[in-house]
Amino acid sequence: MKSNKPPKRPDPREAAKRAALNALRRAKRTADKAGIELSEWEGEFLESVVQRVKTYGRAFADPDKGAAGAPLSAMQGYKLKEIAAKASGKPRAKPKTRSRFGRRDPRAAASGSDDE
């Protein structure tokens, strides 16, 4: 007989935790396979973040440093991307910065507003 229970929905926090652990393991595994030597700090970072995510479900305590359901803070995610890029041999990702002040390119503004 069938039970009348509705199907169990996956917990989004558990899914985020698994995704973070997989990304951390993937970065470590990629570096090992490529023969790239991670610095002492990078190795300790990966190990400590994995341990904290396994123990607490997230790797940071301050809610101002990341999203409520996220297992990694914004900066931890950025550093993980840098380590993964180093392991895969790609150039390191630079933070996207944008000048708040200054003039826009007048040619781009002029060509975009001419809809005649």
Which pLDDT tens digit goes with each residue over 48-98? 999 999 988 888 888 788 777 788 888 999 999 999 998 888 776 566 676
Residue 101 has pLDDT above 90, yes or no: no
Residue 44 has pLDDT above 90, yes or no: yes
Q: Is the pTM of this model over 0.75?
A: no
CB 88 within 8 A of CB 61: no
**Rounded CA gap, 65 and 61, in Å?**
8
Query: Closest Cα partner for 56 from 71, 43, 46?
Result: 71
Residue 1 has pLDDT above 60, yes or no: no
Sequence ranges of the domains in the chain: 12-93
